[in-house]
């Protein structure tokens, strides 16, 4: 009984004066010392910032769920700095791991595999699998090497909020909940990694910058989980628990408008009221007249849209947007990741115009 109470206290978050430190030698040494002592801190990766804990410390991992307000059924990604760190964590190394590693790691790809006994049920949320990736941010790699253990880290936002792509975003969400944020600058990718399950038929559970087409060139057919493009139904079993939860939402109500430029502008003007904002492409701007806006950038540049997406969703709140009409991007190739995040930010509310009308 006393042990139980003590354990609960160990995983209970304390109040901190949150410090932001640069990702230099001193900053990374402090982060490594904290993680080694069973504390949490936020770290940069090339995709989004992560809220870190030693993957071998159940109390520190458990605290991640409390700090974020994360549902207990949503497993975490484990970050390593080399392929050799993976084999003790999985049931068996399959040859596809080496092939994918050679082509995409370090980088925005997460692989789901059968876990070994070293991965606890706290990390995997009770599943018999584990999600692992080698991140590309040099500070994240250096930190893992300094620690000498794998780092469990979900995105460092409050659950349900847009993922953080800068140290300031993390501070806005987690101030006083964690002791340290390592500032590695703005994230170069900007949306979270592609999650690919290698258990059974290779399946993308969450789309990201690395597309199904790029993956299937190396490992053959790759399926898309149903939840990637469709709204999960109440009580439905989803391959990736994270896909079932409301996500990425700013306080403003986001509505996606699917149609061409003319459809979009027409709808906006018909529905424009106070505090209605447009989240559009550069090509829409000259048709907006007085409607305030933020832009994803060039309609032909998915990488720019990825970099801007989450920070735009946060900025719209800062500007006092009540309703945001977002122009729906394409659903194919590189755009799928952006479409998938926007659809969730909009709670699947999409207004569709017929093609070419």
Note the residues at the interface with ligand TXA (CB under 6 A). Answer: 45, 47-48, 50, 74-77, 108, 110, 112, 124, 127, 129-131, 135, 153-155, 192-193, 195, 205-206, 240-243
Residue 222 · residue 212 · CB < 8 Å: yes
Q: Which stretch binds Mg ion (CB under 5 A): 90-98, 116-124, 150-158, 303-311?
A: 150-158
Task: Report how far residue 356's alpha carbon sits from residue 255's, in angstroms, rounded to the nearest whole number.
Answer: 20
Task: Report how far residue 25's alpha carbon sits from residue 23's, in angstroms, rounded to the nearest whole number.
Answer: 7
Q: Between residues 64 and 294, which has the closer beta carbon with respect to Mg ion? A: 64
CB of residue 251 vs Mg ion: minimum separation in angstroms?
Answer: 18
113 binds, among ligand TXA, Mg ion, none (CB under 5 to 8 A by kind): none
Neighbours of 17 (CB within 10 A): 7
Q: Provide the b/e sequence for 215-236 (b: ≥16 CB within 10 Å).
A: beeebeebeebebbeeeeeeee
133 Cβ neighbours under 8 A, 6+ residues apart? 77, 78, 79, 80, 105, 108, 109, 110, 111, 193
308 binds, among Mg ion, ligand TXA, none (CB under 5 to 8 A by kind): none
Q: Between residues 112 and 288, which has the closer beta carbon with respect to ligand TXA? A: 112
Closest residue to ligand TXA: CB criterion: 242
Q: Which stretch binds Mg ion (CB under 5 A): 93-101, 151-159, 170-178, 273-281?
A: 151-159
Strands 293-295 and 276-280: parallel
CB of residue 84 vs Mg ion: minimum separation in angstroms?
Answer: 27
CB of residue 247 vs Mg ion: minimum separation in angstroms?
Answer: 7
Q: Between residues 27 and 108, which has the closer beta carbon with respect to Mg ion? A: 108
Task: Report how far residue 260's alpha carbon sits from residue 65's, in angstroms, rounded to the nearest whole number.
Answer: 41
Task: Report how far residue 276's alpha carbon sits from residue 254's, in angstroms, rounded to the nearest whole number.
Answer: 10
329 binds, among Mg ion, ligand TXA, none (CB under 5 to 8 A by kind): none
CB of residue 119 vs ligand TXA: minimum separation in angstroms?
Answer: 9
From residue 98, give the alpha-carbon distance in Å to each of 81, 87, 103: 14, 11, 9
Tokens in use for 84?
A: 């050799």
166 binds, among Mg ion, ligand TXA, none (CB under 5 to 8 A by kind): none
Q: Between residues 159 and 263, which has the closer beta carbon with respect to Mg ion? A: 159
Q: Between residues 152 and 346, which has the closer beta carbon with respect to ligand TXA? A: 152
Scanning the structure block, which residue is given the tokens 């399950």? 197
Determine if 155 is a binding residue for Mg ion (CB under 5 A). Answer: yes
CB of residue 266 vs ligand TXA: minimum separation in angstroms?
Answer: 36
Which of these, 207, 187, 173, lies nearest to 70 by C-alpha position?
Answer: 173
CB of residue 340 vs ligand TXA: minimum separation in angstroms?
Answer: 11
Q: Between residues 39 and 258, which has the closer beta carbon with respect to ligand TXA? A: 39
Which residues of the shown chain bind Mg ion in the complex (CB under 5 A)? 155
């Amino acid at each position: 009984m006393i042990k139980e109470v003590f354990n609960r206290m160990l995983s209970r978050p304390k109040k901190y004066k949150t410090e932001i430190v640069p990702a230099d030698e001193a900053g990374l040494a402090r982060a490594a010392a904290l993680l080694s002592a069973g504390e949490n801190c936020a770290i940069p990766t090339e995709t989004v910032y992560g809220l870190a804990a030693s993957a071998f410390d159940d109390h520190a991992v458990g605290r991640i769920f409390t700090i974020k307000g994360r549902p207990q059924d949503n497993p975490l990604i484990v970050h390593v700095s080399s392929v050799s760190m993976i084999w003790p964590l999985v049931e068996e190394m399959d040859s596809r791991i080496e092939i994918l590693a050679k082509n995409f790691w370090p980088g925005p790809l997460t692989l789901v595999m059968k876990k070994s006994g070293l991965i606890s049920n706290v990390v995997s949320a009770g599943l018999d699998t584990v999600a692992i990736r080698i991140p590309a941010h040099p500070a994240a790699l250096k930190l893992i090497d300094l620690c000498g253990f794998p780092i469990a880290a979900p995105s460092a936002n409050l659950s349900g909020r847009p993922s953080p792509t800068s140290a300031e975003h993390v501070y806005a969400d987690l101030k006083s909940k964690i002791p340290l944020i390592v500032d590695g600058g703005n994230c170069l990718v900007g949306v979270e990694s592609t999650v690919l399950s290698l258990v059974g038929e290779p399946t993308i559970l969450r789309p990201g910058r690395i597309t199904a087409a790029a993956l299937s060139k190396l490992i053959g057919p790759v399926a898309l989980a149903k939840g990637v493009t469709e709204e999960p139904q109440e009580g439905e079993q989803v391959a990736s628990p994270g896909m079932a939860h409301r996500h990425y939402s700013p306080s403003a109500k986001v509505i996606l408008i699917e149609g061409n430029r003319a459809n979009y502008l027409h709808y906006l003007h018909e529905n424009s009221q106070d505090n209605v904002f447009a989240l559009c492409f550069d090509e829409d701007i000259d048709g907006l007249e007085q409607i305030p806006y933020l832009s994803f950038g060039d309609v032909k540049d998915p990488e720019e849209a990825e970099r801007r997406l989450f920070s735009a969703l946060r900025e719209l709140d800062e500007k006092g947007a009540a309703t945001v009409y977002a122009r729906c991007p394409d659903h194919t190739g590189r755009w799928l990741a952006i479409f998938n995040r926007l659809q969730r930010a909009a709670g699947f509310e999409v207004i569709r115009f017929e093609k070419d009308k």
